[in-house]
Amino acid sequence: MKSYSFADLFSGCGGLSLGLSLAGLNGKFAIERDPMAFETFSANFIDNASPKVAFDWPNWLAKRAWDIELLLAQHKDDLIKLRGTIDVLAGGPPCQGFSFAGRRVEDDPRNLLFKKYVEVVDALQPQALILENVPGMRVAHARRNIVGLPVPGEHAEKPRSFYDKLVDSLDVAGYRMEAMLVDSSRFGVPQRRSRLIAVGIRKDLCEWLDGGIRRLFVLLDEARLTQLQELGLPEAVSASSALSDLETVGREMIACTDPESSSGFREVKYGKPTTTYQKLMQAGHQGNMDSMRLARHRDDVQERFRRILVECRKGVRMDNESRKTYGLKKHRIYPMASDEPAPTLTTLPDDILHYCEPRILTVRESARLQSFPDWFVFKGKFTTGGDRRTKECPRYTQVGNAVPPYLARAIGIAVQNLLEEVASKKSAVGQGIAELPIAATA
């Protein structure tokens, strides 16, 4: 099989890049505007990266955080010169403006980034596109006035989703798109995480596909089954299967060893794996573990969490009455169930309670639930608050925003197999073994 290459836009800390690299694709460059997220990306894919995931970075692109608008302003000609060398363009505009977890706002500047994304697509003209986003991207949005009511008018624009608008824009750029809702827990990720996976194929390649672009999702399910078999994982990995080696009860506790943590925090001493998933996560790790810092809960908070773990149903979000009973103001809080995949991780660390300990999860435990291996290091602050939440991307946010690497790995395998099918058919026609597809002869 040919060695396929990819670039990653809006890469975050690198979950999608990691999965594609583990699938055998070669990374060329990545664009991420947040300095904390890019520091994490750089630590894993650029600085002392293992050959399996190291990026072949272009000399003209500084290895730093980049805004996509600045990239296009300064390096559009350089991007155009890369045509033919980037097979897959991965990543898509940030999901916050589309998410059901918060109010969707059509005019949020982050949601206009897809126009710049299309501009990069047009410059590179890769064979395939991979985008991952929240299901809300397909929900139609009506433009609203300042009091929150639909803008009146007989000729008002019919509400359309951002996905529809993106499809139209990419159609003009020469790509056909298909999308499907996918649950990460079916791919060996110990987390129920429903996401919209959208794939675009350049129109000149579509005619070679039996069944069109939907063929990709057939190949994705095949890759899913193969991945579970290769990794030795069950159909669903439970939270305890992922995290039991990081539990604190009966374990040696030490001072937090993370160099970016303030003093006074504790962590559990890194132990041996007890499940297949834990063995996969610990493979390749050396030295001290980062991001193991435990939260410092007040005694009354711990007692409240103990009551919740005993008295509330696990694995489902607490309802309004339950939250009032325990004096909780948060709208979203889940006590995890130990025997099933965790609920969807968000960027807020206090949305989920540990399944058997009265505390929130550590960054490392959150990363485990996303399928980041333990050798993957995280950089920057652990968390932030207030107005800084919209301006900074600390570790919990990096993990919560990431594409689960095991999901990305299966997608990468499926996309490679799809492109290989196209290449094989084109080669057969060139050798006179097969006939041109009907669309190509029209």
Instruction: Please give the positions annotated as active site.
Output: 95
Rg (CA), the chain: 23
CA distances from 411 to 26, 71, 110, 120 (A): 14, 27, 25, 21
Identify which of 98, 86, 108 has the alpha carbon closest to the alpha carbon of residue 31: 86
Q: Of 166, 76, 75, 78, give the one whose Cα is nearest residue 114.
A: 166
Residue with tokens 């197999």: 417
Q: Write a three-state SS string for the chain.
A: CCCCEEEEECCCCCHHHHHHHHCCCEEEEEECCCHHHHHHHHHHHCCCCCCCCCCCCCCCCCCCCCCHHHHHHHHHHHHHHCCCCCCEEECCCCCHHHCCCCCCCCCCHHHHHHHHHHHHHHHHCCCEEEEEECHHHHCCECCECCCCCECCCCCCCCCECHHHHHHHHHHHHCEEEEEEEEEHHHHCCCECCEEEEEEEEEHHHHCCCCCHHHHHHHHHHHHHHHHHHHHCCCCCCCHHHHHHHHCCCCCCEEECCCCCCCCCCEEECCCCCCCHHHHHHHCCCCCCCCCCCCCCCCHHHHHHHHHHHHHCCCCCCCCHHHHHHCCCCCCCCEECCCCCCECCCCCCHHHEECCCCCCECCHHHHHHHHCCCCCCCCCCCCCCCHHHHHCCCCHHHHHHHCCCHHHHHHHHHHHHHHHHHHHHHHHHHHCCCCCCCHHHHC
